[in-house]
């Protein structure tokens, strides 16, 4: 029997704006104009700047004991901002992980909800009516299944011009839920964008120790899913990739995979110390690729950004973030029992007992146990 090749594949990488702010007109122009106007780029730059300032303040809030933990978005802002603009607010769903603050804000989530979440206040997860954003997801990869389900609902309802996008890190692609979500999305044919923020590290494990494949994006091939790798620190490449992917998903009722190659400049969370496993030289090399610096260079080369505008933005960012922090810290403390109120539509007997007694039998403390009853009454 003849031996023959039954499958071959190739994946492209897209970069439009390089580290020096140079713009590739062959890839980034349409109808004689850049795919993003100067006004749009300035808007995105401002969102990235405000998002980074919020990062800095959130870090200080955690260090001063006013927040449990916090995962900084620093270095990955272009992925969230570019994709956030490409998705349609009020029509598409944003299904985040925990480094997409900017995209969530652009689609209507008040920023102080993010702070409330990391402060341990459940009200940070009560998304306002009409905001098509799911709560921040800390478990690795579980939310991708939700995105596939949302996209499936679009198909079942015949809502053809809607799409969902879900974000996750490179480490999540080693999880079973990732493959379950990809397989269902592919076989069901639903409009969902899988956006991997490959920031090179799954907490302290480098990508090359997580997987044997040279890229993350090639995993999409197994699911016959179109895919593209982009420079995740390039606001133009990210925007174009997601915009085109959304068009493909809605026109073909099919999923799309994007790998945004970026870098986490901060620690994994405030409970981490990346200096213990990353070299200073590696961090220095990625600092030179900072999406904020690169975008500002582009705007300066276009002649639309000055030192005065930068100073004005910094002042405005401090004011905005100050108001966000005040809103989060100024909210009245919730009743302890509220923790249970939004978990299920109806509580079962065990949870109702936990709510009423503030004791749990799952940890060996049975509220009916002699000795604990008196403690409960005195609590």
Residue positions annotated with a catalytic role: 264, 268, 277
3-state secondary structure string, the chain? Answer: CCCCCCCCCCCCEECCECCCCCECHHHHEECCEECCCHHHHHHHHHHHHHHHHHHHHHHHHHHCCCCCCCCCCCCCHHHHHHHHHHCCCCCCEEECCCCCHHHHHHCCCCHHHHHHHHCCCHHHHCCCCCCCECCCCCCCCCHHHHHHHHHHHHHHHCCCCCCEEEEEEHHHHHCHHHHHHHHHHHHHCCCEEEEEEECCEECCEEHHHHCCCCCCHHHHHHHCCCEEEEECCCHHHHHHHHHHHHHHHHHHCCCEEEEEECCCCCCCCCCCCHHHCCCHHHHHHHHCCCHHHHHHHHHHHCCCCCHHHHHHHHHHHHHHHHHHHHHHHHCCCCCCCHHHHCCCCCCCHHHHHHHHHCCCHHHCCCCCCCCHHHHHHHC
């Amino acid at each position: 029997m003849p031996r023959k090749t039954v499958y071959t594949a190739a994946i492209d990488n897209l970069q439009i704006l390089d580290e020096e702010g140079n713009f590739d007109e062959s890839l980034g122009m349409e109808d004689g104009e850049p795919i993003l106007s100067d006004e749009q780029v300035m808007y995105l730059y401002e969102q990235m700047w405000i998002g980074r300032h919020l990062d800095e303040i959130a870090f200080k809030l955690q260090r001063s004991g006013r927040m449990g933990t916090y995962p900084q978005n620093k270095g990955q802002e272009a992925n969230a901002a570019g994709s956030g603009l490409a998705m349609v607010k009020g029509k598409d769903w944003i299904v985040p992980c925990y480094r997409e603050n900017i995209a969530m804000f652009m689609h209507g989530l008040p920023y102080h909800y993010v702070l409330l979440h990391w402060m341990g206040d459940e009200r940070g997860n009560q998304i306002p009516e009409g905001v098509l954003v799911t709560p921040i997801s800390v478990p690795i990869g579980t939310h991708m299944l939700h995105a596939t389900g949302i996209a499936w609902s679009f198909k079942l309802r015949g809502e053809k011009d809607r799409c969902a996008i879900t974000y996750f890190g490179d480490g999540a692609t080693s999880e079973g839920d990732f493959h379950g979500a990809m397989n269902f999305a592919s076989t069901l044919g639903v409009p969902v964008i899988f956006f991997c923020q490959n920031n090179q590290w799954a907490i302290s494990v480098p990508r090359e120790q997580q997987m044997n494949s040279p890229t993350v994006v090639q995993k999409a091939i197994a699911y016959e899913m179109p895919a593209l790798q982009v420079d995740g620190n390039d606001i133009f490449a990210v925007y174009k990739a997601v915009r085109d992917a959304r068009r493909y998903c809605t026109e073909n009722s099919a999923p799309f995979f994007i790998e945004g190659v970026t870098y986490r400049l901060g620690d994994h969370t405030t409970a981490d110390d990346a200096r213990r496993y990353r070299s200073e030289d590696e961090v220095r090399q990625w600092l030179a690729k900072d999406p904020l610096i690169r975008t500002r260079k582009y705007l300066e080369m276009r002649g639309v950004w000055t030192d005065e505008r930068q100073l004005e933005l910094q002042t405005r960012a401090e004011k905005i973030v100050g108001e966000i922090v005040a809103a989060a810290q100024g909210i009245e403390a919730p009743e302890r029992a509220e923790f249970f109120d939004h978990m299920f539509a109806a509580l079962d007997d065990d949870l109702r007992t936990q709510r009423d007694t503030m004791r749990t039998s799952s940890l060996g403390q049975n509220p009916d146990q002699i000795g604990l009853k008196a403690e409960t009454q005195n609590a």
